[in-house]
């Protein structure tokens, strides 16, 4: 591949991967069986994909891909410029020709691209890497969008980092003394990256059962507040049956305690003042599951929203919601279920300067550059705010 026997595009991809491997002192390349590419629908991303395509590259391992925005939804409502629509179309065309799975979903690890324990994969997307390493026990480094695409094209990655046994043990003991009684609390726990510090955290004190939504929230916010490829939950995640196993028999480099006060303080830090008027509610960063959509539909049945509500989901969840008549309930209330879309996209220009409410600190963080500001609250408080137009001060 490196010598060009499989074409210029493949050689270019392998050249990049060899350089990455050399920078981490990797000794060899190893094959992968899955990939996920966090495409960004931006000029540099499209330039890179088109360069590989023009060189004759095609994906040996068909990767799932992150969302840009739904062309059909936003074009039909006149909410996106011709320039930005053309950019999304170019993105679609390039990845289609490369042979990607056009899932446009940031949580493929929950349903559509789920690796088995020990499987070597190449996943980009901030919430994906900690989930597949920690929850499933598969193996991926924190790939960038471009390096994950290179891996999908060559079918190989350099062997370093979290692909190696010795690098998957914990470094930091995180004793959770907070009351973890909702999925929202895992958003806040994940946002404690500054206090947790660099390394692989090992959590203790969490409930015996933790749902996929809570785990998604934890990983997403760990990589918004910091940079984490993996974590362990003692007695829960597969590589941490005991504290000793999680640390590989070593002592923790440091200990951190997280209390209810810590979670309250981080919420106050990341959220706008809740006394501001709310213009809209937005959920789904990462994309919402069917269960989360069902919960909102149950809260909104036979009610009318005072503020617009946007719920971002995968196309699979949208299809299920339509089959189950959840979409009809939501639309009657004034909520919109939108597939294939990320909040950090130019399609939201009409919300610039307005104040939203969301349950996701990640959603509150990234769209700031687009002039979108958010109050952060738990899901039910967000729903109440959209119903009344006001934020409960004890929410």
Check pLDDT > 60 for residue 394.
Answer: no
Q: What is residue 195's predicted lDDT score, i.e. its pLDDT?
A: 97
- What pLDDT, in 10s, does the model give residues 326-337? 999 999 999 999
The neighbour count for residue 317, using CB atoms within 10 Å, is 26
Task: Give backbone dihedrals phi and psi of 247, rounded to 5 degrees, phi first.
Answer: -95, 5
Give the C-alpha separation, 370 to 382, whole Å: 21
In this predicted structure, the answer to whether residue 395 has a pLDDT above a threshold of 80 is: no
Least confident segment among 96-100, 154-158, 275-279: 275-279
Phi first, then psi: what are they for 332, rounded to 5°? -65, -35
pLDDT of 324: 98
* Gap between the Cα atoms of 297 and 336, Å rounded: 11
Q: Please tell me whether residues 301 and 384 are part of one structural domain.
A: yes
Check residue 95 and give its pLDDT. 98
pLDDT tens, position by position, 54-75: 999 999 999 999 999 999 999 9
Measured CA to CA, the distance from residue 103 to residue 359 in angstroms comes to: 24
Report residue 378 as tokens: 């738990």
Do 110 and 190 belong together in one domain? no
2 contact partners, CB below 8 Å, separation of at least 6? 11, 14, 15, 18
How far apart (Å, rounded) are the C-alpha atoms in residues 49 and 90? 10
By DSSP bridging, strand 309-313 and strand 280-288 are parallel
Quick one: average pLDDT of 355-375? 95
**Residues 336-352: what's their mean pLDDT?**
97
Asked if residue 215 and residue 78 are part of one domain, the reply reads no
Same domain assignment for residues 232 and 144:
no
Last residue of a domain, one of 128, 143, 165: 165
Report how far residue 376's alpha carbon sits from residue 100's, in angstroms, rounded to the nearest whole number.
Answer: 34
pTM, two decimal places: 0.96
Residue 160 has pLDDT above 70, yes or no: yes
For residue 70, what are its two tokens? 């739904």
Q: CA-to-CA distance for 256 and 277, rounded, in angstroms?
A: 37
Q: Mind listing the pLDDT tens digit for each residue in 238-297?
A: 999 999 999 999 999 999 999 999 999 999 999 998 888 899 999 999 999 999 999 999
Report how many domains make up the chain. Answer: 3
**Among 165, 187, 209, which residue terminates a domain?**
165
Has residue 3 been placed in a domain? no
> Do 30 and 108 sit in the same domain of this protein?
yes
Residue 312 lies in a domain: yes
Q: Which domain holds residue 157?
A: 8-165
- Give the pLDDT band (50/70/90) at residue 78: very high
Residue 117: is its pLDDT beyond 60?
yes
CATH number at residue 133: 3.30.499.10
CA angle at 322 for the pair 364 and 38, rounded to the nearest 5°: 40
In angstroms, the CA 232 to CA 168 distance is 9
**Smallest Cα–Cα separation from 233: which of 219, 250, 221?**
219
How much is the pLDDT for 352?
96
């Amino acid at each position: 591949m490196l010598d060009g026997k499989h074409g210029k595009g493949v050689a270019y991809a392998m050249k990049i991967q060899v350089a990455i491997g050399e920078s981490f002192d990797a000794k060899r390349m190893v094959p992968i069986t899955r990939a996920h590419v966090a495409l960004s629908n931006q000029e540099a991303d499209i330039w890179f994909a088109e360069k590989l395509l023009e060189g004759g590259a095609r994906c040996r391992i068909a990767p799932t891909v992150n969302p840009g925005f739904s062309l059909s939804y936003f074009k039909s409502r006149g909410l996106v410029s011709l320039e930005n629509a053309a950019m999304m179309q170019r993105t679609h065309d390039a990845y289609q020709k490369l042979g990607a799975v056009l899932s446009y979903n940031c949580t493929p690890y929950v349903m559509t691209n789920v690796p088995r324990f020990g499987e070597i994969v190449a996943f980009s997307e901030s919430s994906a890497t900690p989930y597949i390493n920690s929850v499933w026990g598969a193996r991926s480094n924190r790939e960038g969008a471009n390096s994950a695409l290179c891996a999908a094209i060559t079918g190989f990655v350099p062997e370093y980092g979290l692909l190696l046994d010795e690098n998957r043990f914990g470094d930091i003991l995180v004793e959770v003394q907070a009351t973890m009684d909702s999925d929202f609390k895992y958003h806040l726990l994940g946002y404690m990256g500054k206090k947790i510090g660099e390394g692989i955290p090992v959590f203790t004190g969490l409930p015996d059962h933790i749902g996929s939504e809570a785990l998604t929230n934890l990983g997403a916010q760990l990589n918004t507040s910091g940079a984490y490829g993996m974590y362990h939950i003692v007695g829960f995640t597969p590589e941490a049956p005991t504290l000793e196993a999680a640390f590989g028999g070593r002592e923790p480099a440091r200990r951190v305690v997280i209390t209810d006060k810590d979670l309250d303080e981080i919420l106050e830090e990341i959220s706008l003042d809740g006394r501001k008027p709310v213009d809209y509610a937005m959920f789904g960063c990462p994309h919402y599951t069917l269960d989360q959509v069902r919960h909102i539909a149950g809260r909104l049945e036979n009610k009318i929203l005072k503020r617009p509500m946007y719920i971002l989901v995968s196309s699979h969840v949208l299809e299920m919601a339509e089959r189950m008549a959840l979409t009809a309930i939501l639309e009657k209330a004034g909520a919109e279920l939108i597939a294939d879309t990320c909040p950090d996209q130019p399609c939201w220009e009409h919300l610039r300067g307005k104040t939203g409410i969301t349950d996701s600190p990640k959603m509150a963080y990234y769209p700031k550059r687009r002039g979108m500001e958010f109050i952060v609250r738990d899901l039910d408080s967000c729903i109440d705010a959209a119903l009344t137009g006001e934020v409960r001060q004890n929410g």
